[in-house]
Amino acid sequence: MTQPRNKVVIFLGPPGAGKGTQAERLAREEGLTKISTGDILRDHVARETELGQRVRPLLDAGQLVPDDILIALIRAYLAEMEPVRVIFDGFPRTGAQAQALDMLLEELGAPVTAAPLLEVPDELLIERIVERGRQAAARGEAVRSDDTEEVARRRQQVYREQTQPLIDYYAARGHLRQVDGVGTMDEVYARIRQALG
């Protein structure tokens, strides 16, 4: 049996575009590991590793974890993987993180395969997010604090400011794959698969 090849996918898209759901499905069907830096951080804290002890006070204080620590965490995580088959969802968030991740992946001989960007018009994103809050309330569940129109609009603005440099970064390297994020989950997923070849 041939060893599966390295595959590194960076999911991009605004809040409410359905990245998380699509990334989980792709991970399941392609045999990829979905990487959430938040999950890795919490795991290190729980295991009380050296890195975990460094980040615990930052997390407890609600501060952002510095890029060098995040990259060290990802390095430790990926170093145990052979081959490297991952989906990043929610990382990198800045150009500096993207450059650091690229350098690490090159070292590991597992460069970025593709960076699919789920594109959904702002007004539809706001509708989706507010509807998600409405449905949670109807089921008697706690509504996420960011599932309000005001917060959703602010998050869209922050996303545009912070993520545009990332989009430009991956486009310049030929990794960006623009995907129409409007339609049923199956339709969007089919477009993602097509974009990834």
| Bind-site residues | 16-21, 37, 42, 63-65, 90-93, 97, 132, 144, 155, 183
Tell me the binding residues for AMP: 37, 42, 63-65, 90-93, 97, 144, 155
Q: What is the DSSP string of the chain?
A: -PPPPPEEEEEB--TTS-HHHHHHHHHHHHT-EEE-HHHHHHHHHHHT-HHHHHHHHHHHTTPPPPHHHHHHHHHHHHHT-SS-EEEEES---SHHHHHHHHHHHHHTT----BEEEEE--HHHHHHHHHHHHHHHHHTTPPPPTT-SHHHHHHHHHHHHHHHHHHHHHHHHTT-EEEEE--S-HHHHHHHHHHHH-
Binding residues for ATP: 16-21, 132, 183
